[in-house]
Structure 1
Amino acid sequence: MASSGINFLVPIISKTYCSSSQVVLWVRRRPHVPGGGGLVVMDCSQRVVFKVDGCGIIGKQGELITRDVQGEPILLIRQKGGIVQALSIHKQWKGYSYDYQGLQKLVFSIKEPNACFSRHNAIRISIEPKGSGGHGRDWDFEVKGYFPDRDCSILDPKGNVVAQVGVKEEIEKVMTSKDLYHVVVKPGMDQAFVFGVIAVLDYIHHESTTC
């Protein structure tokens, strides 16, 4: 894996979810059944770090909730809808954090290429408010690779890997369904943000978070 070069915290959701060292977390998909689905994120000691509820649990299509270890919601992710979105080159997702009063604040946007226009454009992520990155682009991170193969990365505008999805070879031999995979998060990167992006990837590829 390429070195990310990050030596500072990137608290997109909260600095609570940033670590000064590299972190390896494991993702287990919940059974995709009515009233179920979603993701469970664990550390190397199998302690739950995050949970992601998909529309099978929430009951709303195009909506995801990331929860902390206590089960409190920390991130709400919604897919924008309507005719304008259907005709747009990109489909959009909006991520909202919760403050201590439970109020929502827009923290990032994800542009998913509309398959009707192109299958090759990258998935790009903008931190809100736009332009705060100072790099002269209208996006701050992008996803490269193919998530269903559990082989993709989140990169910053300089091409540095900030998080990488993969499957250990010994697990891949016995679990062809990719129900268990790991995510390496580089130092300083907001882990809640990373798994918010992964939740969207899971949804758009019609996996466990969909109804």
Structure 2
Amino acid sequence: MDNSVPVVSKIFCSSTPTTLMIRRRPIVVNGGGFVVTDLSNNVVFVVDGCGILGSKGELLVKDGEGEPILFISRKGGTVQALSTRNKWNGCSMDYQGKNKLVFSLTDPKSCITKVAPIRIHIEPKRHCKNWDFEISGSFADRDCTIIDCTDKIAAQMGKKEQIGSKDFYNVEVQSGYDKAFIIGVMAVLDNIHGESTRCR
């Protein structure tokens, strides 16, 4: 029985748990994002941020072959400026370059709402609560978890103990969940926390 939860595409869902290693690019060498490898050191995804794209609030996730698969942007405008929360939209990209909204993520952007959880909505809507995924824990401490609306863990982030650097960490994606989607969420969290994808 297929229990996969595709968001970007079913091809990014695996039947077994997968550990992905995330390494920030040095700012002086092609800065503006991070590289994602598997345990065999094969590049699986590349995330480009402001340092490469040149625009604030825009992120691009590419597959291991360098093909764009997910474009993420922070929603702007007057309404957004007055809001106490930031909204990010993730759009899948097909071979013709067309975008289709696949998820939106809302995060608190003021100290008043800092305790509010980060919620993710999938498109088309299929949530069992008023959200599909929720992020708990601390990205800055490399200790956060993404759960779905049935309280199952979709992915868990951790430090690579032997290295002990915030520039290198791992994410374990559980079986059936979309790895490209999880990396897209990691890219947004990276940007929110002013790390490798943010403009310097």
Q: Does 1:93 align with 2:88?
A: yes
**SS of alignment partner, residue 21 of structure 1:** coil
Q: Does 1:30 align with 2:22?
A: no
How far apart are residue 188 of structure 1 and its match? 0.4
How well do the aligned residues superpose, as a CA RMSD in angstroms? 1.6
Equivalent in the alignment of 2:143: 151
**Paired letter, 1:143:** I
Distance 1:88 1:194 in 2: 26
Provide structure 1 residue ranges, at least 5 long, that are not aligned to the other structure.
1-6
Map 1:141-180; keep pairs closer than 5 Å: 141-172=133-164, 175=165, 178-180=166-168
Distance 2:29 2:195 in 1: 13
After the TM superposition, which of the residue ranges 72-81 and 26-35 deviates more from structure 2?
26-35
TM-score, normalised relative to structure 2: 0.95
Distance 2:140 2:107 in 1: 15
How far apart are residue 90 of structure 1 and its match? 1.6
After the TM superposition, which of the residue ranges 154-163 and 47-56 deviates more from structure 2?
154-163
Map 1:43-192; keep pairs closer than 5 Å: 43-130=38-125, 132-133=126-127, 135=128, 137-172=129-164, 175=165, 178-192=166-180
**Paired letter, 1:197:** V
Distance 2:24 2:90 in 1: 21
After TM superposition, which residue ranges in structure 1, 4 or more long, deviate above 3 angstroms? none
Distance 2:24 2:30 in 1: 14
Provide structure 2 residue ranges, at least 5 long, that are not aligned to the other structure.
none
CA gap 1:116/1:87 in 2 versus in 1, 3 angstroms = farther
**SS of alignment partner, residue 39 of structure 1:** strand
Distance 1:21 1:37 in 2: 31
Q: Does 1:17 align with 2:7?
A: no
Question: Is contact 1:33-1:56 (8 Å) kept?
Answer: no
Distance 1:147 1:83 in 2: 28
Q: Does 1:200 align with 2:185?
A: no
How far apart are residue 70 of structure 1 and its match? 1.0
Paired residues in the alignment total 199
Distance 2:72 2:32 in 1: 16
Q: Can you list the C-alpha shifts for 1:12-42, whole angstroms capped at 9, x where unaligned?
A: 0001100000000100000124862201000
Query: Percent of aligned pairs with the same residue?
Result: 55
Q: Can you list the C-alpha shifts for 1:80-133, whole angstroms capped at 9, x where unaligned?
A: 112211211321000000123221000000001121541100110000123x23
